[in-house]
Structure 1
Amino acid sequence: MSGTFHDEYTAADPQAVTDLFAQLGVRFAFDTAGPGLAYREARAGDEGLSIARLTMGQAFSTWGDTEVFGVADVRGPRYDWHTGDEDGTVGSPVLFRPGHPALVVAGPLEATNVYATPARLQEVAETVYDTREPVAFGSSRPTSTRLGALWSSLVRAAVAAVDFGTFAEPLVRADLSRHLGVGMLECFALLGDSHERTLSMAAQSRRYRIARQFLDDHAHLPVAVEDAARAAGTTTPALVRAFRANHASGGPRPRTCAGPGSPAPTPSCWPPTLRGGTPSGPSPPGEASPTPAGSPAPTARPTGSPRASPSAGEASDGTDGAARRPQHRTLRARSARQRGYPSVRAADVLARAAGA
């Protein structure tokens, strides 16, 4: 992944908040109950997926549409949302979908929002389910209370990685992005044949387990990826997809590169909440787990001392340290001409929602 960022923002007027959300492709307008807006946001991610923690200091309303998929996990006294065919309130995560205008009326709150571009979520779906079916959701609600709580636990794990400083590590960031993408696909009502998706995931998991066991059993021989594919009764491209869906390193490697039984490469810098794997548990009948079947849980490597912090001018991955440190910015309102998109009125959104 490239183009990573870790920024902090403050805003003191509704238009500045509107501009800030527009940067992510969330075309929502904001209005507040009175003067003295106090808005803060910490945002980390890349061009496909981002995690935003925000604080709104007073009651507000917001309305509009979005170009990306976004899940809001809200903590506050009030968060009433309406999409035309659904409505809900605080207490459960809510999914905002492209083409489904929404209106939100809320009080002071703290929230953690996860945004995924349609291209990134489609990539995750194709990898995990081995399908080309376009990603579309049938509801803004989690499919069950348990999966709503599971999404919240995934978000807490991702936030811990950002706070711990490991989100800047490419392997950690890739693994977290995959878990959040699968979590979004599994925790909310994804359209399509769920039985077929389950069978596809099981088939990929079986190929992965057989191939990995073959590589372990023949570690003393110069075996190739094609040999493992034949042992698993599949093709090399299909085996590569199975490894991408189940293995943290992304693909199978000949055992001339790794010792027998080598686990998936897991950095010692995983935050404590992630060292035991992404929070999950056995799924009751009818509910799938966001962790792909057969996916090995990350395990911590013993370390004798804490990892040394990078110097002020250099990040641990060789990039400029500024890429790792949050960059703080204060947002000022811009005109509609500067923003480059038309203004949106609450009445327009409600009219569109009512006619949907």
Structure 2
Amino acid sequence: MNRPAPIHLHFATTEPEVGNEALQQVYARARMGRVTDPRSFRYSQDIHGDADLTLGRMHFHGTVAGHMIQEQAFSVIAPAAGSLRWQIDDRAGTGPNAFLLQPGQHYYGESEHLSVDSANLGSGALEEIARTVYGDEHLTIGFTAPHPVSAAMGAYWQATYWFVHEALTDPATAEIPLLRADLLRRLAVATLEAFPLAGDPQARRASVATRQAAYTQAVEFIHATLSLPITLEDVARHAGVSTIELTRAFRTHTGTTAGAYLRGLRLAAAHRDLVGANPAGGDTVKDIAARWGFAHPGDFARRHRQAYGVTPSHTLRH
């Protein structure tokens, strides 16, 4: 699946109306409605991500009131400095704790010298990940309250946010779609677990626990039998689940399939053998590829080139 193009928005202004235009690049239906002293006003934003996930920090210097209607994203707002009093529909809060804003909700806030960290998760992307994590293809995402389920889970979300933020602001990571997809998944899962998702949380957590056990057993079996001609059915049987559930377990924990995980390990093992091989002694690419389950040399060469940037024959010779 193609990932959307990366977004980078860096901006600062001392003009409230210009600040509103910049703010609306992040939240389309947002507006700073009252600035107590325009002479002391300053707004800045530093945003990274893409259409599925944007992270950023926004500064509102001065005393500012504002409102917005959330659209096609789930947003977690985490005050970092200054003061904020907020209301979402009929819920209200203050202080440094993170809170969640859902599509269709109305937000109003009053702040003073406020800095906030924000994470915007596209509703389609979050729902797709939730359906994979919880094994429910018909799950519709909704949360019952804007606050985390506990202080510990709020801290877990914040720690995940900073891990993802550090990686996403690294240009080398931000330009790689697969890495951005992994970061999206990490923060999406943290949001699903940290905030009170509607439905039966006990049933969902039991499902996650079952997948965790199946994933752990499958990984142990794969590593122990990597050089043997095992199939995905063998792995699923050892883990005590169907092949469909095995796929869901791997997608939940790695974002990929058990087959892709197995091929990746075998490719790495074949690469190690190529590096240590002795072509003068009769070692060949074909034999090494076959040893690790790659029956078609052309397919092996393509995968090796994608992973290591050179052909298997080049690795064998050097």
TM-score range, shorter chain: 0.7 to 0.9
Map of 2:61 onto structure 1? 57
CA distance in 2, matches of 1:110, 1:231: 51
What TM-score, normalized to structure 2?
0.75
Matches within 5 A, 1:71-86: 71-86=76-91
CA distance in 2, matches of 1:13, 1:2: 31
Map of 2:37 onto structure 1? 34
CA distance in 2, matches of 1:84, 1:210: 45
Structure number with larger C-alpha Rg: 2
Q: Is the 8 A contact 1:49 1:117 kept in 2?
A: yes
Number of equivalenced pairs: 262
Deviation by residue 1:168-221 (Cα, 9 ceiling, x = unmatched): 144432222112111111111111100010111012112212222222222112
CA distance in 1, matches of 2:133, 2:166: 25
CA distance in 1, matches of 2:76, 2:119: 5
Is 1:125 the counterpart of 2:130? The answer is yes
Deviation by residue 1:63-109 (Cα, 9 ceiling, x = unmatched): 12101111111123310001232111122011111222111000112
For residue 256 of structure 1, report the CA deviation from its aligned partner.
Answer: 5.4
Matches within 5 A, 1:118-267: 118-131=123-136, 132-168=138-174, 169-247=176-254, 249=256, 251-253=258-260, 255=262, 257-259=264-266
Map of 1:46 onto structure 2? 50
Give the unaligned 5+ runs of structure 1: 263-356
The SS at the match of 1:3 is coil
CA distance in 2, matches of 1:110, 1:141: 19
Distance 1:126 1:110, change over 3 A: same
Matches within 5 A, 1:267-278: none
Q: Is the 8 A contact 1:219 1:260 kept in 2?
A: no
Letter paired with 2:29: R
Highest relative contact order (Cα 8 Å, sep 6+), 1 or 2? 1
Deviation by residue 1:18-55 (Cα, 9 ceiling, x = unmatched): 33343344412113212243211111111211101122
Specify which of 86, 91, 98 is matched with residue 96 of structure 2.
Answer: 91
Give the % identical residues: 27
CA distance in 2, matches of 1:118, 1:125: 10
CA distance in 2, matches of 1:164, 1:117: 21
Q: CA RMSD in A?
A: 2.4
Higher helix share: 2
Give the unaligned 5+ runs of structure 2: 270-318
